[in-house]
């Protein structure tokens, strides 16, 4: 198999009160890292992990830097594995991944727009880009537009995958 670039991100803790913490996200990242190391034989130092501790406060900048790193170092023969475990939400027809410092009323400035990831990985040289997003909306108070948000988010993901 071609060399993998692995980026595993979990967002277990959120600052804003109306965004529930997801402590299991840390376990998700650790479990996935362990299986990559123990079963797939990948060196641990070849895996970039964020949020392996339940109390980790992974801010937007951390995630953006990690994504940028992947874009910078990826070569054509690489397979990029990007895994994210945490909240997702949408606002004004734009889908976002939430981080510790996300403020729901300022999504463009405090969350990670899907289109940002799309743009970063569009220029990524990796031949195969594998995105695994384990996101749900149950912990965010979506209000009346819960269904609409979900559909918007899904649409954004489909666009991301087809264009990424």
Residue 119 or 131: the one with the smaller Cβ distance to other proteins is 131
133: enclosing H helix or E strand: strand 128-136
Residue entry with tokens 């804003």: 16
Q: In the structure encoding, which two tokens stand for residue 140, read together?
A: 């965010």
Residue 147 neighbours by CB under 8 Å, 6+ apart: none
Residue 121 or 153: the one with the smaller Cβ distance to other proteins is 153
Contact residues for other proteins (CB under 8 A)?
1, 24-25, 27-28, 31-32, 35-36, 38-41, 79, 85, 128, 130, 132, 134-136, 150, 153-154, 157-158, 161-162
Task: Tell the smallest beta-carbon distance from residue 109 to other proteins (Å).
Answer: 25
The Cβ-side half-sphere exposure at 3, using a 13 Å CA radius, reads 11
Task: Tell the smallest beta-carbon distance from residue 34 to other proteins (Å).
Answer: 8
Task: Tell the smallest beta-carbon distance from residue 68 to other proteins (Å).
Answer: 24
| Helix locations, 2-100, DSSP H | 24-38, 60-73
């Amino acid at each position: 198999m071609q060399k993998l670039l692995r980026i595993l991100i979990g967002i277990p803790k959120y600052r804003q009160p109306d965004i529930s913490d997801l402590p299991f996200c840390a376990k998700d990242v650790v479990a996935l890292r362990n299986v990559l190391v123990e079963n797939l034989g990948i060196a641990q130092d070849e895996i970039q992990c964020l949020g392996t501790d339940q109390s980790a406060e992974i801010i937007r900048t951390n995630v953006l830097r990690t994504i940028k790193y992947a874009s910078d170092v990826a070569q054509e023969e690489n397979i990029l594995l990007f895994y994210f475990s945490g909240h997702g939400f949408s606002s004004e027809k734009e889908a976002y991944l939430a981080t510790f410092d996300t403020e729901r009323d300022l999504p463009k400035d405090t969350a990670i727009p899907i289109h940002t990831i799309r743009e970063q990985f569009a220029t990524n040289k990796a031949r195969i880009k594998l995105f695994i997003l384990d996101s749900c909306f149950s912990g965010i108070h979506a209000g009346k537009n819960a269904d609409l948000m979900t559909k918007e988010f899904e649409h954004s993901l489909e666009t991301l995958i087809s264009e990424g």
